[in-house]
Structure 1
């Protein structure tokens, strides 16, 4: 039997990954899905998981037992216990990062970056991103809220998005402005909120205000039990795994970049708006033009 004290969440994922290599069928479907997101076991019943994956409950039970658990209840409780212990404060993370050390740290960071990117483009997250793009274009207005580290992500979405799309609103950069901007939202608007553990209170408050105004809230967050996910219209779970002290943002940035490119490809007026923006900046000298064929000057070698 599996024990929460003896396992890490990565170990459980590896067990399901092994099962995913088996013969095609419902059990393989369950195993492949749980190998990518084993923490989902904590939030679904057997029947609920089977319905989500389009298979029978028996396939779920067989998969869980093949992964070393006595039953679904044991597997779910093991994962729940691990999630309770999963988050550590900054100091233990810094110490763990230092313990990895040297060239191995670069390898670990590279591996984590690759895995997070792969997860963005795997099902079902890929499908969820693709389905959201036309809704963002059709909304009356689209807002994006993120503070602290997540402000960079919110600014990326609103700055790049507003150049091409008339309905993207500027990212509020002060707590007071967040409330000022969102109190006028309504059912025709979409509000993206971005935060990861630790979850920023300003962003949680923004989500509450948007929901109270009946706006559609899209949460870009890290976990199924994130407080941002509660009551959200859509949830995009950004992969943040890795040894990083304050989580990796590669997955979340890729989600935002992908949304922006999908929107650009689907908006018939985007090309003209972007052309006008570019022309104006060039006219007023905002960009330094590259000189074709210019070579980097090198210092002459000293003869000795």
Structure 2
């Protein structure tokens, strides 16, 4: 149990004597099952412990939170790096009805995008776009489930920037691939729960070498945010054994489009040349 969670438990223990009977039931459940409570709505938590939804909301207020969702989000932040895949699978009971899986997953993805829109910092986004144009070289690092995001970003930035390198976890060591990183370079690190230790260590190394670091992650309390000069956040919450990468991919799409629009003429020329190559070598089936 980490220190932050201990602080939350201490707060609950401190106020426990003056809680109502119903609120004590909530306090006991959260203390013993915080991993499950983090993904329960106020209504579901109330049903689980046998109290009303309003009692759950008042409990959150008593803890100092402006509504139950704030308490729920803190619980989610605290547990998401601690849960094993097996534990997350156990928490996926709401997704066990196959006929409801499609709607539940799509709705969760929509919620993640909606939250990302509300939380994104437009000024930081613009600074990241500027840093891409200012960089001598761009390194993109994303491991494990973030590998797909890194490769996607790298594919499109390679069409715009002359010197983009996607760092992989292949035969060559990560540090070997980044050995020449320096003060004029930009490193874009992508990391979502469960955060990759190798990604964090590599970003610390590049920061020590003087490179500018941009983090793409799920929140400002992510380990990557403490390393990055600029942090772009996208929600990835999904109470299953998989992570939702829909909002992160949408954020990366926006980044690519913003960069591309600034170099519209050059990109048009690049794609004109590529179209001729694709047509000559039958890369695609049929013509637009």
Per the TM superposition, whether the score is higher than 0.5 is yes
Match of 2:7 in 1: none
Tell me by how many angstroms 1:160 deviates. Answer: 1.6
1:194 aligns with 2:190: yes
1:32-181 equivalence runs, <5 A: 68-69=61-62, 71=64, 83-86=77-80, 87-100=82-95, 101-174=97-170, 176-181=172-177
The runs of 5 or more residues in structure 1 that have no matched partner are: 15-64, 293-304
CA contact (8 A) 1:4 1:79 kept: no
Distance 1:130 1:156 in 2: 20
Normalising by the residue count of structure 1, what TM-score does the alignment of the two structures yield? 0.67
The TM-score, its normalising length taken from structure 2, stands at 0.70
Partner SS state of residue 218, structure 1: strand
Q: Is the 8 A contact 1:137 1:167 kept in 2?
A: no
Q: Deviations over 1:38-81 (max 9, x none)?
A: xxxxxxxxxxxxxxxxxxxxxxxxxxx99713647xx9999766
Q: CA deviation at 1:130?
A: 3.7
Say whether 1:274 aligns with 2:271. Answer: yes
Is the CA contact 2:150–2:166 (under 8 Å) kept in the aligned structure 1?
Answer: no
| Alignment partners' CA distance in 2, 1:5 and 1:270 | 59
**Secondary structure in structure 2 of the residue aligned to 1:115:** helix
Higher percent of residues as helix: 2
Name the structure 2 match of 1:258.
254
Conserved? CA contact 1:143–1:191, under 8 Å? yes
Q: Which moved more, 1:276-285 or 1:249-258?
A: 276-285
**Aligned mates of 1:84, 1:123 — CA distance in 2:** 19
Q: In structure 2, what is the equivalent of residue 223 of structure 1?
A: 219
What is the aligned length?
A: 241
Aligned partners of 2:283 and 2:78: how far apart in 1?
50
Q: Quote the offset at 1:113 in angstroms.
A: 0.9
Deviations 1:194-233 (A, max 9, x none): 1222222321222022111110111112233322222211
Q: Which residue of 1 aligns with 2:48?
A: none
1:97-136 Cα deviation digits (max 9, x unpaired):
2443122222211111111122232243454334421221
Q: CA deviation at 1:165?
A: 2.4
Change (3 A) 1:85 1:120: closer
Whole-angstrom distance in 2 between the partners of 1:6 and 1:126: 39
Residue-by-residue CA offset, 1:241-291 (whole Å, 9 max, x unaligned): 12231311111111111111110001242221232223222222222224x
Note the C-alpha offset of 1:166: 1.9
Alpha carbons of 1:4 and 1:237: their partners in 2 closer, same or farther (altered >3 Å)? farther
Q: Compute the displacement of 1:173 (Å).
A: 4.6
| Closer, same or farther: CA 118–82 of 1 in aligned 2, 3 Å | closer
Where in structure 2 are there 5+ consecutive unaligned residues? 1-18, 31-36, 44-57
Q: How far apart in 2 are the matches of 1:224 and 1:99?
A: 28
| Whole-Å separation in 1 of the counterparts to 2:120 and 2:100 | 32
Structure 2 counterpart of 1:54? none
Comparing 84-93 with 178-187, greater Cα deviation is found at 84-93
* Residues 278 and 4 (structure 1), Cα distance of their counterparts in 2 relative to 1, 3 Å cut: farther
